[in-house]
Chain A
Amino acid sequence: MTPPLKNKLEVIMVLVLFALGLGMTVTGCLNPAANTPSTALAPGYINAQDQTMGEVLGTAHGIVGGLLQQATSGSFVPTATEKLTINSLVGALNVADAAYQGYHAGTVTEAQAAIAVSAVQTQQQLLQAQMGTGGK
């Protein structure tokens, strides 16, 4: 007897999850280098804290830039609440960018830049929480 579509979907999900779990296990077992911490500083960064801040800001730019592009093109339609939070995140990101640029120019302390970067992370978490409820 042919199983209903609902059951087929559940079987597909179980198989996909199994494959995903197997893939993670194999990856973890076969690649010991993956568990070796990297301490090398990438070019352009002053120290580890600086690199962390740069990576956080870079990642946030990628995420927010992508959301803005999708919202502008109409492929993603944020609710009014989401739009407000996205704009707050953009504001925090612009402030943090300026602080980080100032830190590299020697006009802003590392602690001041870190506070601005932390504000970006807070705004990003707020946006994710809102989107998880559909922006309601």
Chain B
Amino acid sequence: MGFAAWISLALNVALTSLQAAGIINPEIAAIATGFESSIIPVINAIQNGSSSLQDTQATLGAMIGMLTTLKQSGHLPADIAGRVDAYITAAEDGLAAFSKAQKGLDLADLTPLTPLS
């Protein structure tokens, strides 16, 4: 599902920034990326019904917790922290919308969106 990719994006952006600034070393970034690689399929497994929504929410929550810790460290530049926030919010909104759609169809949710000016 799309929301997992947004969390992955947030983590990658945060780790790249911290590594580039020399705050964390490449080995730590590699460990985090390895965990991410194993977690994303777990989240995506909900798409074929092989994972429960509760498990997905718990895993997503854990990843968001990790990103929150990174943000609170104060080492992320403001623009990167802003982006991480935007991606986390996008993932949370996507998960909430997916959860609703999974419970039943509501065509009223699929109304036209207005592009950015």
**How far, in angstroms, from A2 to B61 measured CA to CA in the complex?**
32
Q: How many residues does chain B have at the interface if contact means C-beta atoms less than 8 Å apart?
A: 67
Is A107 at the interface (CB under 8 A from chain B)?
no
A17-B31, A58-B101, A101-B107 known; A87 vs B115 contact (CB < 8 Å): yes
Q: Give the contact-size bracket for chain A.
A: 35 or more
Which residues of chain B from 20 to 40 have a CB within 8 Å of any chain A CB? 22-25, 28, 31-32, 35, 38-39
* Choice from B28, B59, B97 contacting A13 with Cβ under 8 Å: B28
Chain B stretch 34-58: residues in CB contact (< 8 A) with chain A: 35, 38-39, 42, 48-52, 54-55, 58
Q: What 4 pairs across the A-B complex have the smallest Cβ distances? A: A62-B97, A44-B105, A58-B101, A66-B93
On B, residues with C-beta under 8 Å from A are 1-3, 5-6, 9, 12-13, 22-25, 28, 31-32, 35, 38-39, 42, 48-52, 54-55, 58-59, 62-63, 65-66, 69-70, 73, 75, 82-83, 85-87, 89-98, 100-107, 109-116
